[in-house]
Structure 1
Amino acid sequence: MFLRNTLLDIKLYLCGIILFGLMPICAHAVTSVTLQLRWEPQFQFAGYYMAQAQGFYKEEGLDVKIVPGGPGVNMKEEVLSHRADFAIGNSGLALSFMQGVPLVLLADIFQRSAGVLITRPGYGKSIEILSQRNIALRALQDNPELYAIFNKQGILPGDLNKVLSINYPLEDFISGKADAIHAYLSNEPFYLNKRNVPFEVIDPINYGIDFYGDALFSRLDYVQKNSETVKRFTRASIKGWAYALANIPDTVDYLHQGPASKKDRAHLLFEAAVTKGLIMPDYVPIGHINPSRWEKIADTFKELGLAPINSKLDASFYFSYWSERGERFQYSILLGAFSALFLIVGGFVFWYRIVNIRLKASIQDKDELILKVEKVASFDSLTGLPNRRLFLDRLNQAIKWASRTSTFIAVVYIDLDRFKEVNDSLGHNGGDEFLKIIATRLASGLRESDTVARFGGDEFVVLLCNLSKPENVELIIQEFVRKITQATSIQGNILYPSASLGISIYPTDGDQAETLLKNSDQAMFAAKSQGTSNYYFFTQALQIKSSYRLKIATELREALQLQQFEMVYQPIVRLSDGRILHAESLIRWRLSSGEILMPSNFITIAEETGLIVEIGDWVFNEVLHFLQSIAHDDVSIAVNISPAQLNSPKHSALSWHEKIQEAKILPRRLVFEVTESMMMFKSHLVSSKIKILQQGGCLFSLDDFGTGYSSLASLKNLEFDFIKIDLQFIKELHRDARDKSLVSAMLAMAKGLGLQTIAEGVETVEQVRLLKEMGCDFAQGYYYSKPVSAEEFKDMLSKSNHD
């Protein structure tokens, strides 16, 4: 009897809940509202389209008009002007609110922003250098997180070299107009990969900038007058997003056949995968709002000087929505109170116990959720190591501890050498496996007080704490090098990893986290410039050198505009008869002070900043004009080409070929010199450009031959015409029998391959005699002439041919 009564109580309770739950739905009159999107229909807005298509808005008594966005559409203005009731914004909503704009945040749909900087390969190592390049950014309200990256490095928006105001940055990036562009992870990477354009990504989260992406918002007066409508709209929108992410193929089909018919289906699928990663539905309830995180975003705007220092986000900024777990169950309790009218006492007690069990479970779920969110925000998803954000937090704590205990700290910046080649040869899966192996090796053997983090790409940073003296660091660094350089087997391939390491010490090299990190980064670059598997300690001299490099990088761009570059030419003489048949073109930089800088003082910096392409184009055009002024068709000019030049998408071999044809110059009169090191690490892009110029009739010379880098296969596969024997073998040719034997072997090999030979650095008559006897074809050096001006070379050429 008791069981029967209990079952009856439960049935009565359920009937009451169902009847009461239906009452609000039946009571809804159809309300028309307008939603303004940020851009054209795409998966970025799939949740709203699916809420409409699946009838979720209709179930809530809403007739929703979805208005696509585009260039020039300001979501905030659309809402404030009453043309739209709801719109999609981003973290810039906090800035607007602090500036006094009456907006209300309804739901954070994207827990992470899709906004990133895309740069050319190798460009993103230094934010300072990047700030001197042409950067294509949209308005600050469209990408506040990107401006925040520069601000973190002490660079304000007004300090950026050139911010291009554009609507379609992708074409500007491909054409070379922009060196870095604001992009969305779900968009530009798809098109760049499709067009085989190489690029790198700078993600704000790696710099401690953790902004929200798409957020649903409305205006204050509308929310105050229509709170129930706002709740229903938000609830249905979140339901639409849950459906879209759980049914991606069906959602993509709907979008492709309907509102997003202009979009490529493959792109929609790509966008869907990225979007799910940004919304993080497996870790965070869709729409979840975290006020403390918004406060940090607000602080960033204050640091940028965009919001009053005393402004804040008060409660009126957040819409009190029942999807918060605690609030959801408060609503359930309220429902239960009314439904109790339908229940007998036994049923009510049963219901009350169930609700309390669910409340307890919800608190546990919330704790688990917080742990999951913290893990996503603080750890690298690939390796499981701490990310930049967590590393900086630990570094700041370590600095405080070291200050109190008078101990030392070391920050070790590690950059893997030639990682791009691992990715190119083994694919991204192989590259990921490689990174995990390196991460495991670095983490093994560290003390509990130490930290190894991955900052993204092939960059790792180690924090060594509680050091009694700085000298202890070097042994640890040597152990890192030993671990990294161990042979590694991946996908059946044996790899021999190497890395460049830079070290800064607290407090001698800085007492702030960002300073220590920047200085270790500079030291790493110094190590990399010395070759592979090197480490370098930061010094004041290195800081001075870094400042000098930044100064030169800035002045290089001005030098192009002010036409401060000059060309000189060093004759190359045929040994058999002493005639000048070639010359090597060499660049000089004449400063406004009259001082002349040699290439060794600025070419490397030009390569790092990307200006090498513009400088290289200028050199090429100068040589073309010079060849046009020389009447002798049998005289050729050699032009040095940098690997960074050929590896850059901005450089066009086809354009050079067309200019040669327009100049009406025999292509064989141009000899392009490439170094052995370039051949060692050549990419498919480099090889294809060399082939284009060769097929056009231009000649190629392999410079610095014999310095230990060359791949003999390159001599055959790329069909060189000349090899230049490095001056270090010529210098002691008449004194050192080993040098003589080496040069003799090089000459014999070149002859066997049908290549002509040029000896560099010839300075004595004895060297000339020996080279003639050994069968060398040409010689270049101060024995014949130093590099001379164009007019002087013409005079020398006339005398040589007359004689």
Structure 2
Amino acid sequence: MKRAIMKRPMNSLTGFLARRLARCLALLLLAILCGLGAPSARAAEQVVLQLKWHPQFQFAGYYAADKLGYFAAEGLAVTIRPRQPGPNPVDVVLAGQADFGVSGSAVVLSRLRGRPVVLLAAVFQHAPLVLLTRSEDGILGPSELKGRRIMLGPEREDALLLAMLRNQGLGPDDFIRVPHTFSDTALIDEEVDAVSAYVTNQPFQYRRRGVAVNIINPVGYGFDFYGDTLFTSEALARRRPDLVAAMRRASLKGWRYALDHPEQVIDWLIADYGSTKSRDYLAYEAGMTRRMIMPNLIEIGHVNPARLNWIADVYRAEGLAPPAGRLDGLLFDDLMTPQVRLPDWVRWLGGGLGLLGAASFALLALNRRLKRLVAERTRELERARDRLQYYLDIVDKYVLTSATDLSGRITYVSSAFARATGYDKAELLGRTHGLIRHPDNPDSLYQEMWSTVLAGRSWHREMKNLARDGSTFWVESNIEPTRDHDGTIIGFTAVRIDITDKKRIEELSVTDRLTGLFNRFRLDEVLAREFGRFERYGRPLGVILADVDHFKQINDSLGHGAGDRVLAGLARVLADKVRAADVVGRWGGEEFLILCPETDLEGALMMAGKLRAALGEAAVEGLDLPAGRRLTASFGVAVSRPGDTIDSLISRADQGLYRAKNEGRDRIRTIEGVGGSGEAAPEPEPV
């Protein structure tokens, strides 16, 4: 009896525990099944972007990327941190207190000094850093600052200005360096004679206060550095290249939007991001920022390795970087995917030519200034003028310079300019530059040039020119308005650098040697650019893949020489028949790629039909085909559509080509479908 009484509580406890255990196991199983059946949401990567100053339009692209969700779309949660007193962005990022930073060409100097920074994008193609002086003091150039008080920031951030000063003969002991207080009153109250500033905004502040200032721009003295850059640490770039690439993509996308919609971004800066600047201030800064970025001429973020090497050479030459300092690992793309580079002498040549052109223009401008002020200058300036004339004589011999009046009539040409064109100086004077205009240059190019210089701004562009004997030569043109003592524009001065050899080298690097068409490397660049236009503006991009039929049989039976002639012949047909806006190149082996911008499916099919018909009528010199045989090719056609990637677009064209081969060759096929059916669209008759 006693045993039975004790057994019931024990059985009750055991049953209770068993039921609880079964319930827990069921819940655990359910959780596992739910976890397997439902995709897990990926948590956004938390990263910090360290700015170099406070919220303003200088950083509009990053704020736009945040506001529009571009960062979020890349899986990033970005904290945009304004600069605080203390370390600069490079120090902050390398200390692990931020993942990305905004700096200037200081990243080049940092890398030369052995600091592991990686450059992702050069957003500002020109550095906005300048020196400002009071107009009433009459200080117009760096050489006039000897013994004066100059307010400068830390060496790394104002290295560009220090390089300019050293180049003009002012070492550290030749002026009084005053630490920067970032206050406009120092110059106004005559506490200093010159102050480092950003041309994108600070002249506006002085103008609002009624203070006239002179701008000493390093560009005028041959120091055209990159401005704001996006960078990260080498450790992060190597550990998480996917995250770094995502940050760059979203940031550049934000910059494109900000430059196209400045008013909207200004609203966000004031309402959402705590900018204390006025709307007029931000609007002025937006306009100047656009001039620094040059989005209509250069892809936003583009970095020229030759220019980086030239900047590095300047830092070394001016003693700001160790002579043995190297840039290896500075560029993110090179760090991830090393590419074949042009020889060092080519990069040195490009940098040297850029320096010579900028320096020669500065010499011309300085010479005019010295002639106006010679009566008031000291004997030191008179000696400087004599030295300057010596250099101008060198410029006359080796640099292509000219000057015109307001109507464009030539009033001066250098001996080098006359020699390059094949005309005598007397033949050029009084004529216009239309005498050497190349027919490939569109009217819009000259309209842009005139509208820019007549508005008082500088104009820079690479141009084709036509010499007297009909030959073509390429120049890098830099045109500046010429002003009288009242500031009125009275004409224009142009400095041109002959870059014909550079263009030839560039052409060799992007051209297929056998066919003379673009090679795969160049096609990839153009494809990325045109696909980007489709993504931004929704303009269709047609893609045609062409493949020579029975090419292996031709090679095997007639020899590889015959095969080469077939490829060269097909290339000539394609190049002759495509439109001016189309791009054709050798994709690989016997495959050719034709890109048709702003072309829908019907237009791409018609173009493929035109090429197929032309090929059927073509004869290849030195190629004897069996009786009844002719040279043919198969074509696959695709057109961009929403949600596409470059790979998916090319893949559809390749599938169309595969279908054409399987159905008997010498035909055009597409899998784009009609009404989304996925069936091949009707093949057009050849035209």
Normalising TM by the smaller chain, what interval?
0.3 to 0.5
Structure 2-normalised TM-score?
Answer: 0.46
Structure 1-normalised TM-score?
Answer: 0.40
